[in-house]
Amino acid sequence: MAAAPEISHRSVEANGITVHVAEAGPEDGPAVLFVHGFPELWYSWRHQMEHLAARGYRCVAPDLRGYGGTTAPPDPSSYTIFHIVGDLVALLDALRLPHVFVVGHDWGAIVAWNLCLLRPDRVRALVNLSVAFMPRNPSIKPIDYFRRAYGDDYYVCRFQETGFEAGFASFDLKRFFKMAITVQTTGSSAMSLKKMQASNKEITLPSWLSEEDISYLASVYAKTGFAGGLNYYRCLDLNWELMAPWTGAKVQVPTKFIVGDGDLAYHHPGVKGYIHEGGLKRDVPMLEEVVVIKGAGHFIQQERAQEISDHIYDYIKKFDTGLSTPKLSKL
């Protein structure tokens, strides 16, 4: 049996910041850009990187602006969707990758939708997980919507508060990540620091998540803190203002969308109807597949690693006739 492809790491200067990038697979293979969410890192894609690298793909997984080994500007307004998409385009330029497949999850899915909206010329095809495209509503700002729908204590609203990230400092980070990633009402949609800190429930890790995985996340976030990730939420209203010219614009990239039926993002009001009753297809005309995975939660690329890896490979391989036969790594 061939050894698993090695994941290498380097720093790349792009868009005025230093981006930490994890890479795997042959340099001359078709490139796949993986975009992580919150509270995550490139590490969320380790299984998919290994799977696709072994099949001849060049896998590129950065820590996004504000995360891990990538620069974290202090000003919250430095985290607009234009900054993040700009970072990715500049990263592709630095790596001399004119076109890539894109795979996104959670906030990374939001970034990936916008990368495709703003620069479809750089994307061969998109596989997005968990968070559907959200067309701009010109009649209400996002934070006003969340306050009306869920109240001031909703995590997105709480994240707007200056200094909220300090609350993570008093947390046992290993316990935090165990709860955040495995809790049944899973994902950042269920994030309440008060409830999490008050809980004394014993946490048993599922088979798909190890103590080593938790330790890696906790050790990185102990160094960086959470301000970078929270600043994405703090730019929601600013993004709404800046994206006004793209009101009604469509995502014109071949797309596959995957969501777990236990993901809270799938159960937000109106989301199921939007996905299954024509809204998503209207806004993403080249949507080719929607996959709902039974019994899966929010961190689906880890929880159902093999299944998601197969879904990604089965979709993108049809764009590469030269890779119709898997080219297993000799590493």
Catalytic residues: 106, 233, 298
Q: Which H helix or E strand runs over 60?
A: strand 58-62
As given in the structure block, the two tokens for residue 322 are 């030269």
- Read off the tokens for 3: 């050894």
Cβ contacts of 257 within 8 Å, gap of 6 or more: 127, 128, 129, 132, 275, 280, 284, 287, 289, 290, 291
Which residue type occupies 320?
D
Alpha helices (runs of H) in the chain, residue ranges in sequence order: 46-53, 81-94, 107-118, 142-150, 155-158, 173-182, 193-198, 211-224, 227-234, 236-242, 264-267, 271-276, 279-283, 300-303, 305-316
